[in-house]
């Protein structure tokens, strides 16, 4: 059976290519970051100095910028995405209206991030600036807060769709049991559905977080590109992704260049970790629920 | 099988493009770098395309990017507002990188305050603002310099470049010359550790931010300020005169002796009527053009383009508010362009 | 039993809050769409679609180079990622439990999670640096790396849904294994596979970050995959950040074109999945 063998071989080759892409990517990033990591050691991630004039680099301002924007975005978006998943998973399971809402949520994920950035720059930035003037804060307009607002909206679909799926999977007999005891819908959602769907929601949150950590364009356009540790939430800053977008093509020194790759490598590791963790939780949940 | 078919198709397409490249003449050149002369270059290359059919793709990614990409040999030429220092030049020891200037520009201090009046600034006040020591528009030092202007009691928002930039280099080169504190705390460079402020990408990015933010101040190339109807300040020069940046005051600033490699800073000029933050902007390229499998035709087209830039191209400079090169500088640039070789033989005779 | 009224009130309030917050979360989408179309539709006309951008200060101009560039990039990315992705997906669905599959699934998940900007760095290191030039090819490869995991995952999921008796019937008739896969399993799954591919395409068509240091941009028309090209998202980014009204106008117009493109990809993908759905 020659054909069979050739066919199996071709399948294996495809699999190998995928695996090679992954490993080669990891290796390339490691090699690229070595010069910087050798030069600065682990201090690279704890030093706040980013000084191309004297070739001293530390990634702390970008770590801080990334963490602040991502978590702030998550806090803002969580009530919104949970509401949508409860709406679709409990109140409106079927029907035309429900499928419209579903498509709209998908659409949020489909709009390219550069368009979010453009809109943010033209509409949201002036809006935030006016707010800042009202509250007597220095009216940068751009900054961590603005970036988080845009991000919080962009990551709604990630949590919403996963959470909805898990909420739909909650066994009907459990809920019916609660209803038959006289519970109101609110009580059922609070006491039965949400606790049951907990791990799925957690997985959704992790995936959203992964998305937020790595989002580049929309953030780059509204964050203000300041390489210092931000003094407050309305201050311009830079994230790991945005500093790469800004400076990668123009880093002249070898150490400068390598430092940017090292930031990319760190981003790779963190998002990979969140991705695996999220997937692991999903797998565990679906198996549990399927049983 | 569909997979084989697609693979074949891909290979075919690749081979076809390879063939096209081998047989057809050189139709395009790629450059990257400075955003400072970008409006001029965009106009030049549009005209050049109409005249010769050659497409010159210039991407304004910042001067640092121009140097980086030339060193990586991913572009045919780089553009930079900061001449490469000796350490950078040493990165290509076997094939020296040459500079020639294409035009003169000025970095202007631009701002956005109510009424957009014309301000007068001294080196001390400028460094004070950008060091974050002068933080309000109605600071006594500013009021004293501009008694006739009603300055608002607003916070000053400093806007600077976020990318590696020759404009930043020129500006910080000037500040390092006039302020000891600046030289000690910040220094000069294409990218800096800014004490205050927020970053915009490219001259366009900074101009865009200043237009949006009331109370902001920043530095951009003269043409960008003019194009965007942004006001700009007169600056006290070494001679003690307040000079407004104009084509004339810029070219007066360039009345200095040009070294043979044209790498010279003209900030804080000695010329009594010269504007103090002016600079040349340069094209950088390899002297020996036979590197990385480049064809002779490609090298030839590149050198022709350079020749065009310092001659025919110059007539468009003033239209876009860039200073023309003075005659002695053109002479020096000609010499440099003529020194380019292919396999050791000069390309232009 | 607490007061039944209070409980009912709470229930109503909760329902109201859920509806309100859901509405609130969709509001920005409407705002963005409305604003983009209001600004962008004005910019679009025949010249806009067929001409090149003009230098600063010259009126008019269009985005034809970016449309062609996006087309080139998507074609390259598809040519690379579809065959590899579909084949790897078949492997996964055929060998559900092998350790290679388990491992590959993790790999694909990580690949999918990598931020697009990091993929840009990878493509720069792999293609741009060795080749010594920016090119459509390097941009296409970057996008292919992004598209690959989508295609693999989708193919696997679609093929899993095909009932095993279909395969068993074919094998029982004496059809060799590889022909069974090609003639029976793939045709049965093709609507799902195609819809996944379309989804992948509409995802990568809007990506900017991986193109910044690969496709690079080009103000001229270019069909040569070994040269830098412009792309719609790249053009939007560059022109959006500029202070020129004329360029911003082009950017808004390009945004509308890009959104329509992405929407069309999504809608067609759904139609394909629905219309050709094989009923079992």
Which among A216, A271, A274, A231 has a CA at the least distance from the CA of A143?
A231
Residues of chain A with pLDDT under 70: 1, 286-291
CA distances from B158 to B127, B198, B211, B300 (A): 12, 6, 13, 45
Q: Fold identical between B3-105+279-346 and B106-278?
A: yes
Q: Identify the pLDDT of residue B10.
A: 52
* B chain contacts of residue C59, beta-carbon cutoff 8 Å: none
Of A54, A125, A249, the CB nearest to B68: A249
The Cα–Cα gap between B33 and B19 comes to 30
- The number of folded domains in chain A is 1
C236 in A contact zone (CB under 8 Å): yes
**Pairs from B3-7 (Cβ < 8 Å, separation ≥ 24):** B3/A10, B3/C83, B3/C87, B6/C79, B6/C82, B6/C83, B7/C83
Q: Identify the pLDDT of residue B309.
A: 96
The radius of gyration of chain A from alpha carbons, rounded to an integer in Å, stands at 23
Token match 């004070």: residue?
Answer: B128
Handedness of CA B289, B295, B297, B301 (dihedral sign): negative
Token match 């003075």: residue?
Answer: B326
**Number of H-type helices and E-type strands within chain C:** 12, 0
Q: For chain B, what are the domain ranges?
A: 3-105+279-346, 106-278
* φ and ψ of C29, to 5 deg: -60, -45
ipTM of the complex: 0.92
* C chain contacts of residue B159, beta-carbon cutoff 8 Å: none
Pairing of strands B28-33, B55-59: parallel
Q: What is the pLDDT of residues C6-54, one digit of tens each?
A: 999 999 999 999 999 999 999 999 999 999 999 999 999 999 999 988 8
Token match 């495809």: residue?
Answer: A14
**Pairs from B290-296 (Cβ < 8 Å, separation ≥ 24):** B290/B341, B290/B342, B290/B343, B291/B73, B291/B95, B292/B73, B292/C132, B295/B26, B296/B342
Beta-strand runs (E) in chain C:
none
The Cα–Cα gap between A147 and A73 comes to 8
Q: Identify the pLDDT of residue B126.
A: 95
Residues of chain B with pLDDT under 50: 1-3, 15-16, 18-24
The parent domain of residue A285 ranges over 2-290
Q: Which CATH superfamily is domain B106-278 in?
A: Periplasmic binding protein-like II (3.40.190.10)
Query: Element (H or E) spanning A57, and its range?
Result: strand A56-57
Touching partners of A (3+ C-beta pairs < 8 Å): B, C
Q: Identify the pLDDT of residue B300.
A: 93
Residue A178, beta-bridge partner list? none
- pLDDT tier for residue C2 given thresholds of 50, 70 and 90: low
Which among A156, A161, A165, A175 has a CA at the least distance from the CA of A78?
A156
Angle between helix B202-212 and A125-135 (nearest 10): 50
Residue B77, beta-bridge partner list? B31
Q: What is B161-215 written as a DSSP string?
A: ESS--HHHHHHHHHHHHH-HHHHHHT---SS---SS-EEESHHHHHHHHHHHSTT
Q: Identify the pLDDT of residue C271.
A: 87
Q: How many CB pairs under 8 A join A and B?
A: 91
CATH number of the domain at A244, please. 1.10.3720.10
The Cα–Cα gap between A246 and B88 comes to 21
* C chain contacts of residue B14, beta-carbon cutoff 8 Å: 225
Check if the beta carbon of residue B241 is closer than 8 Å to that of residue B181: no
- CATH class of the domain at B3-105+279-346: alpha beta
Of A29, A186, A221, the CB nearest to C241: A221
* A chain contacts of residue C106, beta-carbon cutoff 8 Å: 276, 279
Token match 């300020």: residue?
Answer: B225
C78-C81-C84-C90 Cα dihedral, nearest 10 degrees: -90
Kindly state the percentage of chain C with pLDDT values over 90: 61
The pTM (predicted TM-score) of the whole model is: 0.88
Query: Minimal Cα–Cα distance from C273 to chain A, Å?
Result: 15
> Contact C29/A91, CB-based, under 8 Å?
no
Q: Which two tokens stand for residue B120?
A: 């007068």
Pairing of strands A56-57, A50-51: antiparallel
Q: Testing the interface with B: which of C243, C244, C246, C247 to mutate, by most B Cβ within 10 A? A: C243
* A chain contacts of residue C1, beta-carbon cutoff 8 Å: 182
* A chain contacts of residue B69, beta-carbon cutoff 8 Å: 249
Q: What is the pLDDT of residues C205-237, one digit of tens each?
A: 999 999 998 998 888 888 999 999 999 999 999
- Helix then strand then coil, in percent of chain B rounded to 5, is 40, 20, 40
Residue B323, beta-bridge partner list? B104
B7 in C contact zone (CB under 8 Å): yes
Q: Which two tokens stand for residue B305?
A: 């383009």
Q: Identify the pLDDT of residue B7.
A: 52
The Cα–Cα gap between C50 and B156 comes to 45
**Mean pLDDT, rounded, for C139-161:** 94
Of B62, B189, B212, the CB nearest to A126: B212
The Cα–Cα gap between A225 and B145 comes to 32
> Contact C132/B46, CB-based, under 8 Å?
no
- pLDDT tier for residue C276 given thresholds of 50, 70 and 90: low
Pick the residue from chain A with its C-alpha nearest to B3. Answer: A10
The Cα–Cα gap between A22 and C32 comes to 36
The Cα–Cα gap between A175 and A192 comes to 7
Q: What is B31-78 written as a DSSP string?
A: EEE-STTHHHHHHHHHHHHHHH--EEEEE---HHHHHHHHHTT-SSEE
Q: Identify the pLDDT of residue B8.
A: 52
Which among A218, A116, A245 has a CA at the least distance from the CA of C211?
A245
Pick the residue from chain C with its C-alpha nearest to A91. Answer: C15
Q: How many CB pairs under 8 A join B and C?
A: 90
C63 in A contact zone (CB under 8 Å): no
């Amino acid at each position: 059976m020659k054909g069979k063998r050739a066919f199996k071989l071709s399948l294996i080759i495809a699999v190998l290519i995928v695996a090679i892409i992954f490993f080669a990517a990891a290796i390339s990033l490691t090699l690229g970051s070595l010069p910087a990591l050798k030069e600065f050691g682990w201090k690279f991630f704890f030093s706040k100095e980013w000084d191309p004039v004297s070739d001293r680099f530390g990634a702390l301002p970008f770590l801080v910028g990334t963490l602040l924007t991502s978590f702030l975005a998550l806090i803002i978006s969580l009530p919104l995405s949970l509401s949508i998943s409860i709406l679709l998973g409990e109140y409106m399971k079927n029907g035309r209206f429900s499928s419209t809402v579903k498509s709209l949520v998908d659409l949020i994920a489909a709009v390219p991030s550069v368009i979010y950035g453009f809109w943010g720059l033209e509409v949201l930035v002036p809006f935030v600036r006016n707010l800042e003037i009202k509250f007597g804060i220095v009216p940068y307009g751009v900054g961590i807060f603005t970036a988080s607002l845009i991000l919080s909206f962009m990551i709604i679909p990630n949590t919403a769709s996963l959470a909805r799926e898990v909420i739909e999977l909650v066994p009907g007999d459990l809920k019916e049991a609660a209803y038959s005891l006289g519970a109101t819908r609110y009580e059922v959602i609070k006491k039965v559905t949400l606790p049951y769907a907990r791990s799925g929601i957690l997985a959704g949150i992790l995936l959203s977080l992964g998305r937020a950590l790595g989002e580049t364009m929309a953030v780059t356009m509204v964050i203000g590109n300041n390489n210092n540790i931000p003094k407050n939430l309305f201050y311009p800053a830079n994230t790991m992704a945005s500093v790469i977008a800004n400076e990668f093509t123009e880093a002249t020194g070898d150490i400068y260049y390598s430092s940017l790759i090292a930031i990319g490598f760190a981003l790779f590791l963190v998002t990979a970790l969140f991705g695996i963790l999220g997937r692991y939780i999903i797998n565990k949940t679906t198996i549990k629920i399927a049983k | 099988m569909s997979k084989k078919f697609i693979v074949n198709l891909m290979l075919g397409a690749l081979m076809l493009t390879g063939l096209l490249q081998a047989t057809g003449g050189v139709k395009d050149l790629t450059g990257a770098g400075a955003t400072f002369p970008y409006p001029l270059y965009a106009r030049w290359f549009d005209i050049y395309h109409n005249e010769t059919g050659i497409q010159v793709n210039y991407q304004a990614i910042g001067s640092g990017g121009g140097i980086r990409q030339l060193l990586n040999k991913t572009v045919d030429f780089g553009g930079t507002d900061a001449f490469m220092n000796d350490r950078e030049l040493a990165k290509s020891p076997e094939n020296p990188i040459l500079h020639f200037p294409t035009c003169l520009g000025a970095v202007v201090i631009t701002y956005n305050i109510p009424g957009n009046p014309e301000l007068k600034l001294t080196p001390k006040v400028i460094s004070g603002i950008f060091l974050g020591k002068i933080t309000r528009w109605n600071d006594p030092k500013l009021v004293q310099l501009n008694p006739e202007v009603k300055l608002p009691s607003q916070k000053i928002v400093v806007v600077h470049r976020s990318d590696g930039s020759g404009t930043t280099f020129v500006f910080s080169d000037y500040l390092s010359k006039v302020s000891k504190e600046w030289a000690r705390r910040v220094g000069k460079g294409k990218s800096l550790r800014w004490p205050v402020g927020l970053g915009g990408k490219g001259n366009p990015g900074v101009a865009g931010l200043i237009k949006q933010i009331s109370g902001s101040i920043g530095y951009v190339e003269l043409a960008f300020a003019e194009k965007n109807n942004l006001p700009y300040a007169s600056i006290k020069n070494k001679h003690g005169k307040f000079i407004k940046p104009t084509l004339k005051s810029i070219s007066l600033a360039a009345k200095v002796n040009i070294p043979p490699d044209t790498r010279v800073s003209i900030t804080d000029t000695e010329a009594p009527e010269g504007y103090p933050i002016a600079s040349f902007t340069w094209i950088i390229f390899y002297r020996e053009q036979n590197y990385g499998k480049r064809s002779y035709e490609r090298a030839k087209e590149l050198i022709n383009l350079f020749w065009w830039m310092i001659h025919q191209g110059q007539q468009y400079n003033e239209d876009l508010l860039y200073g023309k090169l003075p005659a002695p500088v053109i002479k020096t640039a000609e010499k440099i362009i003529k020194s380019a070789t292919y396999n050791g033989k000069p390309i232009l005779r | 039993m607490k007061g039944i009224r209070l409980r009912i009130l709470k229930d109503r309030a909760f329902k109201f809050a859920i509806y309100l917050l859901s509405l609130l979360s969709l509001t920005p989408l409407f705002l963005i769409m409305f604003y983009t179309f209001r600004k962008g539709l004005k910019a679009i006309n025949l010249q806009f679609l067929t001409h090149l951008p003009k230098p600063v200060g010259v009126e008019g101009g269009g985005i034809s180079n970016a449309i062609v560039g996006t087309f080139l990039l998507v074609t390259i990315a598809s040519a690379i990622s579809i065959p590899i992705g579909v084949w790897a997906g078949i492997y996964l669905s055929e060998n559900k439990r092998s350790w290679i599959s388990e491992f590959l699934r993790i790999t694909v998940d990580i690949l999918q999670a990598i931020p697009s900007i990091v993929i840009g760095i990878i493509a720069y290191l792999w293609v741009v640096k060795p080749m010594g030039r920016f090119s459509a090819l390097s941009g296409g490869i970057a996008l292919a790396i992004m598209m690959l995991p989508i295609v693999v995952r989708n193919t696997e999921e679609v093929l899993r849904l095909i009932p095993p008796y279909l395969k068993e019937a074919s094998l029982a008739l004496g059809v060799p294994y590889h022909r069974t896969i090609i003639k029976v399993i793939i045709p049965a799954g093709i609507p799902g596979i195609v819809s996944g591919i379309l989804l992948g395409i509409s995802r990568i068509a809007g990506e900017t970050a991986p193109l910044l240091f690969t496709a690079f941009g080009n103000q001229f028309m270019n069909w040569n995959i070994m040269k830098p090209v412009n792309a719609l998202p790249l053009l939007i980014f560059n022109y959006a950040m500029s202070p020129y009204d004329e360029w911003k106008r082009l950017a808004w117009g390009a945004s509308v074109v890009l959104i329509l493109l992405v929407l069309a990809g999504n809608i067609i993908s759904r139609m394909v999945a629905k219309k050709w759905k094989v009923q079992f």
